Chains A and B, each alone.
Chain A
């Protein structure tokens, strides 16, 4: 079985699956249960400065959207950082780390944007024996109204400044957690890098309103008739998170900046995808909150089987494996021609491909009187919509045309040599260069 041991910025853990800083890691009780279930590490729920802790709302903290069969696809929350006293959390962190020395225990922090505040808390965390700190520059609700969380994460100069304070005041590895509520994720990541961060983790949650109650006309979750935006997470945000991870991973200046991937990781496959796009490990929250800690067992067995099948002996062989294949649109090969192909044996004749193509795309699927569906190669642009709406996996596939054959749509011969937009005759920039 593949070795899932990971070393992330010097922090070792038996597997790359950490629980993200969130409700599941707010207390010793939960974290012990998590470690017993097999989680490789935790990022303890964000601590604030000493003194009276923050308070949470006493109504609903979460809202959700669901897919078929009420499968939870997206979760939003308006919970703040830990509302338990600092000393209680520190005592529990120490106790857990003592009993689970092989697991990663990283402590998430959020204190005011003043160097003294960071100087005060870092030694207290160090004293617990924790493996590192994660700076919460991400939470988009509540704390951001007080100048913390995403209010810091949205200003690259602040990120760099605070990261530098932290690096100057502790020996512990420092991970900077980024907010996705910005225009270009590379800017805050570069700021953290410049400030000396050992790694970045992303994404934190996305500004969101999950739904509106159509009887009370209040956003959900509703507190006494009012609602505030929350932070969105869960499977629905995975594509956004993957892109942001990839954007950082493919920036040459940050190629060596470790990334902890967060955002909708639900299965071993999601984790492997994050790692292939540059994440050294992953952090999970919503999947655990939906199904309980036991899901890590599937993640472990699935990733092990996959790595065995691929002949990988260490997770480092998977990390960044897909990064070289990330490209700009303008460099995609326009001479690559594919056509949809429908496997009639697998087809259950629902006709969704036909409706999608006929109504909303290229009229490239034919439907016979006895419901046999076939692709009209002379119309098919290989958009992939039929594949995406088909309920049966692998029933419709995209088949590349062999070089030398003729594309019946254009009448042109499929070229073996790649050619992209940068050299295309329709590109004004190309024409200008002539």
Chain B
């Protein structure tokens, strides 16, 4: 350990090896068989269950929990994967506290919902540990479909299409498939190379090829894809990051939070990652929280998260906010960045305090900072895209775009709430519509 949390500047190795591995272990250690049985016993098997309604992929939660309770977690996993082929990742990253678990009637009854997310992980981990893939591919249809983007939307779409016997070519800009599952999730939510393992497991369905290093405008064009395939699905996410707009963003120490997270996810040696002593994160969503918490876990002494509005407007759930607070992240709300100070490298950052209408109150705050992560949103990137709506590809409820034969889903598409589970639902539903269209059922 060459440095400590007190060392000034952006330096690697602030912690000892044991602390790194402890800090980046599983956020929720998996339930063992006994814990799963006890947790499953609490489910009331509700009629037309509110948790199912709250799940973007409509997993039959009471059924899979009953299957766990009766000692058949593999059957439970099949129930989950039928609706959500990325049920393993969603069990890890879903903000269940604002989805299924918020709707759980035991939340109403006792303020303690059934541990749906952790039970889902128990079931999916059990089946995936066997190495078997629970679905079989239908006879080949002779149809080919291009899927651009190997993130949650693209993978869910590709899997469902492959199940129906179509041939799917998946393209992705990054060196590895998985999208934000691979590059964008906090490390402690997806440990042990789970994202990559999940992709390998998913591909066992067959009929899917993946080519990396390709994106629209970088080796791919939409007209060309359309010409070569029977249908195209765009699940390209939001590849550009929004700038702070303060004019000093070339300064050393200022960078997008998504780049920091991606680098962290791909490293094989956490001790080699440099982190500031005084880190500032700007943003109120999940990415901001993930960056702030992980900065702290890498040994930053002070991590301060700024959000321009009140806490109740933060996109990050209360659970996520509390997670950050419990790791020692200071959250300051109603403050907008005004200027970054420094001579080539950031030294301080200055904020205006603002009211609810974002009008500066006149009070300001200047804070020591050697590293600033911006997490104030991402934007769509690509060439020859279908018609947009609010900066995203305009789609109807089945994922159809303005261009015939082109569907879209996930973060790049209009609607939805930019969650992994929403992307999976949109990819799956688009695949159903593509299949119906290609096979002549609808038209």
**How many whole Å from A93's CB to the nearest CB in chain B?**
42
B44: A residues at CB distance < 8 A: 350, 352, 391
**How many whole Å from B31's CB to the nearest CB in chain A?**
15
Separation of A354 and B109 alpha carbons in the complex (Å): 18
A354-B47, A355-B47, A371-B50 given; A349·B105 CB < 8 A: yes
Separation of A70 and B49 alpha carbons in the complex (Å): 24
Separation of A70 and B41 alpha carbons in the complex (Å): 9
Residue in contact with A69 in the complex, picked from B38, B106, B108, CB distance below 8 Å: B38
Q: Check if B45 is an interface residue, CB within 8 A of chain A.
A: yes
Question: Are A350 and B37 neighbours in the complex by a CB distance under 8 Å?
Answer: no
A68-B41, A69-B38, A70-B37 given; A352·B47 CB < 8 A: yes
Q: Check if A65 is an interface residue, CB within 8 A of chain B.
A: no
Residue in contact with A350 in the complex, picked from B38, B41, B47, CB distance below 8 Å: B47
**How many whole Å from B337's CB to the nearest CB in chain A?**
42
Q: Check if A429 is an interface residue, CB within 8 A of chain B.
A: no
Question: Are B109 and A348 neighbours in the complex by a CB distance under 8 Å?
Answer: yes
Separation of A91 and B186 alpha carbons in the complex (Å): 71
Separation of A367 and B49 alpha carbons in the complex (Å): 12
Which residues, 90 to 105 on B, are CB-close (under 8 Å) to A? 105
Q: Check if B48 is an interface residue, CB within 8 A of chain A.
A: yes
B38: A residues at CB distance < 8 A: 69-70
Q: Check if B196 is an interface residue, CB within 8 A of chain A.
A: no
Question: Are B105 and A348 neighbours in the complex by a CB distance under 8 Å?
Answer: yes
Q: Check if A351 is an interface residue, CB within 8 A of chain B.
A: yes
**How many whole Å from B76's CB to the nearest CB in chain A?**
17
Q: Check if B46 is an interface residue, CB within 8 A of chain A.
A: yes
The total of interchain contacts (Cβ-Cβ below 8 angstroms) comes to 36
A350-B46, A355-B47 given; A69·B109 CB < 8 A: no
Question: Are B41 and A352 neighbours in the complex by a CB distance under 8 Å?
Answer: no
Q: Check if A392 is an interface residue, CB within 8 A of chain B.
A: yes
Nearest-CB residue, chain A, relative to B40: A68
Per-residue 0/1 for B180-217: is the Cβ within 8 Å of any A Cβ (1 yes, 0 no)?
A: 00000000000000000000000000000000000000
A391: B residues at CB distance < 8 A: 44, 109
Separation of A229 and B106 alpha carbons in the complex (Å): 40
Which residues, 1 to 57 on B, are CB-close (under 8 Å) to A? 37-38, 41-42, 44-50
**How many whole Å from A394's CB to the nearest CB in chain B?**
13
Separation of A70 and B42 alpha carbons in the complex (Å): 11
Separation of A39 and B42 alpha carbons in the complex (Å): 34
Question: Are B109 and A352 neighbours in the complex by a CB distance under 8 Å?
Answer: no
Which residues, 352 to 374 on A, are CB-close (under 8 Å) to B? 352, 354-355, 367, 371
A70: B residues at CB distance < 8 A: 37-38, 41
Separation of A348 and B46 alpha carbons in the complex (Å): 10
Nearest-CB residue, chain A, relative to B53: A371
Question: Are A392 and B109 neighbours in the complex by a CB distance under 8 Å?
Answer: yes
Separation of A392 and B42 alpha carbons in the complex (Å): 13
Separation of A165 and B222 alpha carbons in the complex (Å): 102
Residue in contact with A352 in the complex, picked from B37, B42, B46, B106, CB distance below 8 Å: B46
Nearest-CB residue, chain B, relative to A358: B47
A69-B41, A70-B37 given; A351·B47 CB < 8 A: yes
Separation of A281 and B44 alpha carbons in the complex (Å): 37
**How many whole Å from A346's CB to the nearest CB in chain B?**
9
Per-residue 0/1 for B46-90: is the Cβ within 8 Å of any A Cβ (1 yes, 0 no)?
A: 111110000000000000000000000000000000000000000
A68: B residues at CB distance < 8 A: 41-42
B37: A residues at CB distance < 8 A: 70
B46: A residues at CB distance < 8 A: 349-352
A355: B residues at CB distance < 8 A: 47
Which residues, 260 to 310 on B, are CB-close (under 8 Å) to A? none
Separation of A70 and B45 alpha carbons in the complex (Å): 17
**How many whole Å from A390's CB to the nearest CB in chain B?**
10
B109: A residues at CB distance < 8 A: 348, 391-392
B106: A residues at CB distance < 8 A: 348
**How many whole Å from A103's CB to the nearest CB in chain B?**
39
Nearest-CB residue, chain A, relative to B110: A348
A349: B residues at CB distance < 8 A: 46, 50, 105, 108
**How many whole Å from A366's CB to the nearest CB in chain B?**
13
Which residues, 336 to 354 on A, are CB-close (under 8 Å) to B? 348-352, 354
**How many whole Å from B264's CB to the nearest CB in chain A?**
40
Separation of A355 and B48 alpha carbons in the complex (Å): 9
**How many whole Å from A402's CB to the nearest CB in chain B?**
32
Separation of A69 and B41 alpha carbons in the complex (Å): 6
Separation of A160 and B37 alpha carbons in the complex (Å): 51
Question: Are B45 and A352 neighbours in the complex by a CB distance under 8 Å?
Answer: yes
Which residues, 379 to 429 on A, are CB-close (under 8 Å) to B? 391-392
**How many whole Å from B112's CB to the nearest CB in chain A?**
12
A350: B residues at CB distance < 8 A: 44, 46-47, 105
Separation of A391 and B45 alpha carbons in the complex (Å): 11
Separation of A57 and B76 alpha carbons in the complex (Å): 39
Separation of A352 and B62 alpha carbons in the complex (Å): 12
**How many whole Å from B203's CB to the nearest CB in chain A?**
35
Separation of A151 and B199 alpha carbons in the complex (Å): 66
Nearest-CB residue, chain A, relative to B62: A350
**How many whole Å from B50's CB to the nearest CB in chain A?**
7
A69: B residues at CB distance < 8 A: 38, 41
A68-B41, A69-B41 given; A348·B47 CB < 8 A: no
Which residues, 38 to 83 on A, are CB-close (under 8 Å) to B? 68-70
Separation of A391 and B46 alpha carbons in the complex (Å): 10
Question: Are A351 and B48 neighbours in the complex by a CB distance under 8 Å?
Answer: yes
Q: Which of A349, A350, A355, A367 has the most CB atoms of chain B within a 10 A radius of its CB?
A: A350
A352: B residues at CB distance < 8 A: 44-47
**How many whole Å from A327's CB to the nearest CB in chain B?**
35
Per-residue 0/1 for B107-136: is the Cβ within 8 Å of any A Cβ (1 yes, 0 no)?
A: 011000000000000000000000000000
Separation of A70 and B37 alpha carbons in the complex (Å): 9
Separation of A350 and B103 alpha carbons in the complex (Å): 10
**How many whole Å from B199's CB to the nearest CB in chain A?**
36
B41: A residues at CB distance < 8 A: 68-70
B48: A residues at CB distance < 8 A: 351, 367, 371
Separation of A287 and B50 alpha carbons in the complex (Å): 37
**How many whole Å from A348's CB to the nearest CB in chain B?**
4
**How many whole Å from B105's CB to the nearest CB in chain A?**
4
A351: B residues at CB distance < 8 A: 46-49
Nearest-CB residue, chain B, relative to A354: B47
Nearest-CB residue, chain B, relative to A395: B109
B50: A residues at CB distance < 8 A: 349, 371
**How many whole Å from A81's CB to the nearest CB in chain B?**
36
Separation of A39 and B318 alpha carbons in the complex (Å): 51
Separation of A70 and B44 alpha carbons in the complex (Å): 16
Separation of A371 and B37 alpha carbons in the complex (Å): 28
A69-B38, A70-B37 given; A348·B45 CB < 8 A: no
B42: A residues at CB distance < 8 A: 68
**How many whole Å from B270's CB to the nearest CB in chain A?**
40
Separation of A174 and B48 alpha carbons in the complex (Å): 58
Separation of A348 and B114 alpha carbons in the complex (Å): 14
Nearest-CB residue, chain B, relative to A392: B109
- Supply 23 A–B pairs (Cβ within 8 Å), ascending by A: A68-B41, A70-B37, A70-B41, A348-B105, A348-B108, A348-B109, A349-B46, A349-B50, A349-B108, A350-B44, A350-B46, A350-B47, A351-B46, A351-B48, A352-B44, A352-B45, A352-B47, A355-B47, A367-B47, A371-B48, A371-B50, A391-B109, A392-B109
Minimum-distance CB pairs A-B, first 8: A351-B47, A355-B47, A348-B105, A68-B41, A350-B46, A348-B108, A348-B109, A350-B105
A sample of 11 more A-B contacts (CB under 8 A), given A70-B41, A352-B45, is A68-B41, A70-B38, A348-B108, A348-B109, A349-B46, A349-B50, A350-B47, A350-B105, A351-B49, A355-B47, A391-B109
